[in-house]
Structure 1
Amino acid sequence: MGVQDYAESKLKPSVDLTGSANECSNGPSIGVIDIGVSQSAFLFRVALPGIRSDQSKLKCEIQRDGKVLIQGIVTQGSEVLQGLSSVCQMTVEKLCSPGPFTISFNLPGPVDPRLISPKFRPDGILEVVVMRYRRPSDPVDAWAPPS
């Protein structure tokens, strides 16, 4: 496996989904992930459609080894929706069912979990920048995957 193949395989993380995120099969998926890499940081975006930051108790933990754990609660998805002047019984449900969920995956390398910049965008995307961990002996201008 070449350096480029290794780097690409590390950017396609194995993602573990539990709870409502795992049960969502028809509609927009919770837990679709994009990862970006720079010399000094990792950026990841996680799709959380139907999640409201003010009601979901969203929590994102990042460990030094690059393991990311996202937890929350899907609060929408009830079978009866109340509109402006009527009540509708849902016959087709494509959003995730209400309940707790977890998403976990690994970033391509170690990070400094104290140096993160999370942002929950209005379009349902959790976007986080986390600084890479560097030992004093690490070169600043190059990144190579571990051998």
Structure 2
Amino acid sequence: MGGEDFAESKVKPSVVLTGAAKESNGPSIGILDIGASQNAFLFRVALPSIRIDQSKLKCEIQRDGKVLIQGIIPQGTEVLRGLSKKCEMRNEMFCSPGPFTISFTLPGPVDPRLFSPTFRPDGILEVVVLRISRPIDPVDAWAPPS
């Protein structure tokens, strides 16, 4: 990047949303923050309405810094227990159910084998990926344990 630090750059990443992410009725899906250090990039993506056990979430990172996040927003119907009666709740204001993709490009090349994803309880996918330091395979992917 020629010595320029991404944090000081005025370049904002272009984020592409498709499917249910684009048709969101409620909390915005795909809001993105990117941070940079000398050795790594950190990105956080908002994924409200995503349940890790139902979403088939997958994050693919390419050597050139392209990131593709795919998953499924589950149907918003739940049965609440612990009340005197069962109560079926429809989350009408949440994201529309269905498949989605989010894609963007990090501000530099990375080593896709060396990344650490965390899906936080607040619906944020947080990933640290190391900047490139040697020739590597062009793609690696992550999916949470089933």
2-structure distance, mates of 1:50, 1:89? 14
2-structure distance, mates of 1:117, 1:83? 34
Q: Which has the larger radius of gyration?
A: 1
- Give SS of 1:35's match: strand
Q: CA deviation at 1:27?
A: 1.5
2-structure distance, mates of 1:101, 1:14? 17
Q: What percent of counterpart residues are identical?
A: 70
Q: Which has the higher helix share?
A: 1
Q: Which amino acid aligns with 1:121?
A: R
2-structure distance, mates of 1:4, 1:112? 18
The 1:134/1:8 distance shift into structure 2, 3 A limit, reads farther
2-structure distance, mates of 1:31, 1:89? 25
TM-score (norm: length of structure 2): 0.79
Match of 1:124 in 2: 123
Gaps of 5+ in 2: 136-146
2:5 touches 2:36 (CA, 8 Å); kept in 1? no
2-structure distance, mates of 1:66, 1:53? 24
Match of 2:9 in 1: 7
2:80 touches 2:89 (CA, 8 Å); kept in 1? no
Match of 1:142 in 2: none
